[in-house]
Structures are given as C-alpha cells and as structure tokens.
C-alpha cells in the first residue's frame, strides 16, 4: 500500500485562478473509488500503485481536455512494503509522538 | 499571503518509521502561532513568507537536533499577490467548481 | 512530448549514502533507450508520458528489489501540447532570455 | 553543506512560455556568487543553507517584479552534516556504483 500526493495545474491560461481545472482532475479521482483526501495543496490518495498511477494519469489528461495547453504535475509517492500504511495512520503516528504516547 | 506545504524527513536512520522526527518538526510549527494543517504527507502553512520561511528553517534543523545525520526537505510555495488566499479558500473554490456553483 | 524529473530514494536503511540504490534506478532508465540526463538531484527524462511513466514505475521498483523496505519517489511532469519541447530547448530558451536575444 | 534544487514559475500569465520569468530568477542566482547548475527542470545550488535560502527568496520575488500575479515555487533540500557534499560528488557517486567501482 502506498500513499501518494498529487498536485496538477495548468500553465498558459490567463487568470490566476486554477480551481476550475483542479476540479476536473478531482472529478476523476472522485469517480475512481480510491480513498483520497483533498487538501489546500493537492490530493492525497491511498491504495496500491497499480491502482493509483493510471488514475493520476487520467487526472493529468483531464486538464488538457478542459483546454489547458500545458500542464504541470507533481507526484510524491510514499511506498512502504514492510507494513500497512494509511492516511489516518500517518497522521496518527505523528500526533502520538507529539503527545508522548508509545505508538 | 502565501500557502506553503513542507515535508521534512531524515535519511540514514535505521528503521522505516520517521514519525518521531516529523513530530520534532511539528512541535516547532505548533509553537510558532502560524495557522497550519497536518496532512498525511506534510504540513500546510498559511501566512506571509517572511513569517513562514524562518519557521520552516527551524523545522528542518529540529531533525538534526533529534539526531538525523541527513535531512531531506521539500517546500512548495503558492504565493499570490492579486488577492487573499487561505487554506479554506483553496479547498472551497475547488469544491464549488465540482458542485457547479459560481464562485 | 513531456519533460519529466524523477528522484527516488530508499528510507529505513542505515547509512546516509543512497547512491547504491539510485544507481539501481539509473540502470533501468539507461537500458530503456529514453533520452535522459542525470543531475545532482535526480534524473530528467524526455519523451511521451506513455513511454516514460512505465519506466519510472520500474525505476521505483528497482530500489525495493535492491532491499529497501520503503521508497520515496518524487515525479515532476512538464507536459506541453502546444509545441515540441526538449531538454535542450528548455535550457536554451532561458539562456537566450538572459543574454537579451529574441527567441 | 547542502545541495538545493529550486524551480519557480509564474501562474496567471497568458502564453505557455515561462522562460522570460525563469530568466529573471536565474539572474539573481548568477549575481549571487553561489555555485549552481541550470537544468531543464530547475536550478541546483550548492552551499550553506544560510547563504542559499535568502537567494532563493530573491529569485522568487524576481518573478513578481517581472509582473507575475502569482508565483509557484518548489524547493528540494538535501542537507547532510555527516560529510561534505557537492554537485559533482552526488553525480559521481552514482556513476561509480553503476560502473562497479568501489567509492
């Protein structure tokens, strides 16, 4: 199981707002069935890379389909094979360390 | 006002868990008074760059102080000067587009 | 045509050096036939996304095969469909602007 | 000594080319005296963080001064305190592993 963050934005569009394009990418992940979380800086997805990477590819294409001539995409993969990992686990294990609990 | 995402992790420590180190960085931002949000992949901070960058520098140093011999830090800055931006605005404007509302 | 930068590193290995693992990933791209450039911070690849993404997936797997229990991968895609782009073009067009030439 | 990669681009400008803005940022690093390398995807800088971070801040501001209403900046820091590191060392140590030499 991997946790992957992706942020996708169009270049070369007049106007500073890009949320219309980001929304097109988000529709793709929302219809994928994959567990995910929208943050102010991107979308974080949990699952196997084999499931996630093709969806990210479609999220990237969605902005060209919406009219962008150039798209910039940043993908950060945290892939661990030693034990299961989830969106909640990653936040919880940091919070526990802060509060001095033994994980 | 800028929105900045940062993720900091130690290299060269045995053991795959890094949450102890991430917690040290998080303590720095928690005591800074800056508005922020912990996500499964990093910390997102809202404020002026003049306030945020020195805090990120301290978050980075915190992992050396905790014993890491090498630290890898990724910083993503979204800085707009045309209108105010906030953690909530960025998520809301995407959600509105998805639900077909005029922003 | 896209230009893609990738950097892949193992987590959870004792010792601060990661070049042995990076070399395993580099072998994959070297045998792929894709045009690429090794930099101090990653590998930059030129080609179509359909060719590049499967190779990056293998570069990522190569570090697990070399023994890493956890792998962290950062991928940055610059994909433009309005005109061709290449590793050389991207550097040249910046250099030309600096030297005051009309591109 | 740290090795830092930075890529800075304007958002909200009509036209897909951003090299004019990238050139403004590059002028800042060129006049800084810091050792650096321009790549197709960014600029890689070698030095102490105390020297590098203020220069990156100026590189970021340069694009606002050139007229961008919104600027997106990605900074990746590789900071090791266990032994010296340089742009050349990082490439060489990977190349040596590939060619089977003992580093």
A67 lies within 8 A of chain D by CB: no
With respect to residue C28, please indicate whether it lies within any of the assigned structural domains.
yes
Range 71-90 of D in CB contact (< 8 A) with A: 72, 74
With respect to residue B103, please indicate whether it lies within any of the assigned structural domains.
no
- Give residue C62's domain range: 2-98
Is residue B88 over pLDDT 60? yes
Q: C74 contacts in B (CB within 8 Å)?
A: 74
With respect to residue A103, please indicate whether it lies within any of the assigned structural domains.
no
Whether B40 sits inside 8 A of A80 (CB atoms) is no
Give tens-digit pLDDT for C33-53: 999 999 999 999 999 999 999
Instruction: Give the CATH number, domain containing residue D78.
Output: 3.30.70.930
Please report the pLDDT score of residue D78 as a whole number.
97
User: For residues D47 and A26, what is the distance between their CA atoms, to the nearest angstrom?
Assistant: 39
Phi, psi of C32 (to 5 degrees): -85, -20
Give tens-digit pLDDT for B38-66: 999 999 999 999 999 999 999 999 999 99
Please report the pLDDT score of residue A101 as a whole number.
54
Instruction: Return all residues near A7 (Cβ < 8 A) that are at least 6 apart.
Output: A41, A42, A43, A73, A74, B76
ipTM field: 0.94
Q: What is the 3-state secondary structure (H, E, C) of chain C?
A: CEEEEEEEEEECCCCCCCHHHHHHHHHHHHCCCCEEEEECCEEEEEECHHHHHHHHHHHHHHHHHCCCCEEEEEEEEEEECCCCCCHHHHHHHHHHHHCCCCC
> For chain D, which residues score pLDDT lower than 50?
103
With respect to residue D7, please indicate whether it lies within any of the assigned structural domains.
yes
With respect to residue D28, please indicate whether it lies within any of the assigned structural domains.
yes
Please report the pLDDT score of residue B67 as a whole number.
93
In total, how many domains does chain A have?
Answer: 1
Over residues C43-69, the mean pLDDT reads 97
Pick from A11, A16, A74: CB nearest D16: A11
Over residues B26-41, the mean pLDDT reads 97
Over residues B22-49, the mean pLDDT reads 97
With respect to residue B32, please indicate whether it lies within any of the assigned structural domains.
yes
User: For residues A91 and B85, what is the distance between their CA atoms, to the nearest angstrom?
Assistant: 25
Is residue B103 over pLDDT 50? no
C94 lies within 8 A of chain A by CB: no
Give tens-digit pLDDT for A63-100: 999 999 999 999 999 999 998 889 999 999 999 998 87
Give tens-digit pLDDT for A12-33: 888 778 999 999 999 999 999 9
With respect to residue D48, please indicate whether it lies within any of the assigned structural domains.
yes
Query: Best mutation site among C75, C83, C93 for testing chain A: the one with the most A CBs within 10 Å?
Result: C75
With respect to residue C18, please indicate whether it lies within any of the assigned structural domains.
yes
Pick from D12, D16, D17: CB nearest A16: D12
Is residue A49 over pLDDT 50? yes
Q: C82 contacts in A (CB within 8 Å)?
A: 12, 69-70
**pTM across the whole model:** 0.95
């Amino acid at each position: 199981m991997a946790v992957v963050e992706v942020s996708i934005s169009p270049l070369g569009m007049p106007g500073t707002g890009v949320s219309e394009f980001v929304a097109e990418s988000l529709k793709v992940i929302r219809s994928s069935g994959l567990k995910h979380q929208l943050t102010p800086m991107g979308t974080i997805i949990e699952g196997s890379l084999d499931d996630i990477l093709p969806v990210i590819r479609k999220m990237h294409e969605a902005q060209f389909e919406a009219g962008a001539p150039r798209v910039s995409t940043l993908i950060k993969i945290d892939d661990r094979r030693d034990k299961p990992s989830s969106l909640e686990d990653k936040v919880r294990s940091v919070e526990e360390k802060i509060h001095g609990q033994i994980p």
